[in-house]
Amino acid sequence: MLYGRFVGSWDVDATDFEGDGSSRRRRGEWHFAWVLGGRGVQDVLYAVGSPPELFGTTLRCYDAERDIWHVSWMAPAGGEFVHLVGRESEDGIVQIGQGPDPTRVERWTFSEISDDAFLWRGEVSYDGGDEWTLVQEMRAARRR
């Protein structure tokens, strides 16, 4: 149930942080569902009003032998494909892996998890994980 607790629909308030110190806020939707006979959780994430070709999806499947989750994010219209490994952490869930840029490590975390809300943070590192830069933060509230 590491990711199963997110199954359902969520309203998202997202902030993207730019390298120049500016930021941009957007509202969105995040929908999670069981797939593959209950062996995976897939989501669809998009900004409100965006066309379907700009949607992104993540597939998360548990690897019992290695006790990890394989996490693959895809936003084909933007050429974005990211593969991470997810694990439970002290504060929630941490997912770390390689993005499209081979010099960039990505860390995505879920924290402040409750039945009705969670905080998602996207961070990047260009030095192998010694220093992290926040690039996106999303607060999600469950739809009732």
Q: Are 13 and 27 in contact (CB under 8 A)?
A: yes
Smallest CA-to-CA distance from 106 within 84, 130, 74 is with 84
> What would the pLDDT profile of 84-103 be if each residue is shown by its tens digit?
999 999 999 999 998 778 88
Domain boundaries along the sequence of the chain: 7-142
**Residue 35, both tokens:** 């797939």
**Residue 72, both tokens:** 């693959």
- In the numeric block, the tokens 């929908």 are attached to 31
**Residue 44, both tokens:** 């669809």
Answer CATH for 7-142 from 3.30.565.10, 1.10.260.40, 3.30.499.10, 2.40.128.20: 2.40.128.20
For residue 38, which phi and psi values (nearest 5 degrees)?
85, 10
Spans of the chain, pLDDT less than 50:
none
- Predicted TM-score (pTM) of the model is 0.91
- In the numeric block, the tokens 């490590």 are attached to 105
